[in-house]
Amino acid sequence: MDGRKPKTLDDFPQFITTAVRRGETSATGYTKFELCGHFDQAVTNIDQHWFWLLFGVNDCLTATLQSLNAETNAAVLFTHELKEPEVIGLKLFYLSPCWQAFNVWMVLDPTWRWERRKFQGVDAVAEDYEVDEISIVGDREVKIWTKLQPIEGGSGTSRHYPANDQTSPPNPAPRVIPQGWGHAHCDLCRSRIASGEFGYRDHDERWMCESCYQRYVVPRDLAFVDEL
């Protein structure tokens, strides 16, 4: 430990809701709600598109800024929800969309199940595909690519590299490559955890490097939102 005071949710900009106004409901069943209230401090870098509002025990909303009085910090936000959020009088903690809400909960929640593990590589699925435009990779022309995705714990994660065979039609049939995905990334600092290296894995197959675990999880420190 270096003596620094851990950053907590109370150090985040806080939005206190004084009223909730119901708007129109879309065909998908989501209703627009306006949240009227004020921030407890100036939020000069608030994202103009959307951001997180964290509250309660692992609860959150996605909100968009509708108006903000720079002198009083009074603001109107809006969110789309299936039912009216019960947030009047609550402190809603602002989090940049650069992060995910679970990044905060995985550090703060003492019941979050972390296990120190050696990353051994995971099985991957490979699929070949052909594109219209030719790319020059190294000293060869590439039109056929291979998409590689981990089978376990890699939703939305993929790599694309030139297929070995550029002369035959691509085989689009998925094929399993044992331990074909040879590394993971820390969910906070994005550093690489290579096969054979230790890290911490949670119940959703997310990984955290040992450095971030000791720096943030052990002291329950949310300083990563500013430092990384």
What is the domain class of 9-98 according to CATH?
Answer: mainly beta
What confidence tier does 169 reach under pLDDT thresholds 50, 70, 90? Answer: confident
User: What pLDDT, on the 0 to 100 scale, is given for residue 154?
Assistant: 53
User: What pLDDT, on the 0 to 100 scale, is given for residue 172?
Assistant: 82
- Count the Cβ atoms, other than its own, within 10 Å of residue 171: 15
Q: Cα 47 vs. chain centroid, distance in angstroms?
A: 16
Question: Quick one: tokens of 36?
Answer: 């009227």
Asked if residue 222 has pLDDT above 90, the reply is: yes
Indicate the pTM of the whole model: 0.75
Alpha carbon distance 186, 192 (integer Å) = 7
Segment 50-100, tens digit of pLDDT: 999 999 888 999 999 999 998 999 999 999 999 999 999 999 999 999 999
User: What pLDDT, on the 0 to 100 scale, is given for residue 228?
Assistant: 57
Mean pLDDT of 174-190: 82
Mean pLDDT of 146-151: 81
Higher local confidence (pLDDT), 30 or 138 = 30
What confidence tier does 48 reach under pLDDT thresholds 50, 70, 90? Answer: confident
Segment 6-20, tens digit of pLDDT: 999 999 999 999 999
DSSP code of residue 214 = I
Mean pLDDT of the chain: 89
Segment 31-40, tens digit of pLDDT: 999 999 999 9
User: What pLDDT, on the 0 to 100 scale, is given for residue 155?
Assistant: 53
Closest CA to 217 of 189, 179, 193: 189
Q: Which CA distances in Å does 101 have to 54, 55, 93, 163, 188?
A: 7, 10, 11, 37, 12
Asked if residue 144 has pLDDT above 60, the reply is: yes
Most confident of 41-50, 59-68, 134-143, 154-163: 59-68
Of the CA atoms within 13 Å of residue 212, those in its CB half-sphere come to: 27
- Relative to beta strand 31-39, strand 14-25 is antiparallel
Radius of gyration of the chain (CA): 23
Asked if residue 149 has pLDDT above 90, the reply is: no
User: What pLDDT, on the 0 to 100 scale, is given for residue 103?
Assistant: 96
Asked if residue 2 has pLDDT above 70, the reply is: no
Start-end of CATH 2.40.30 domains in the chain: 9-98
Question: Quick one: tokens of 131?
Answer: 């594109």
Higher local confidence (pLDDT), 29 or 165 = 29
* Residues 199 and 209 sit within 8 Å (Cβ to Cβ): yes
Question: Quick one: tokens of 5?
Answer: 């005071």
- Count the Cβ atoms, other than its own, within 10 Å of residue 188: 24
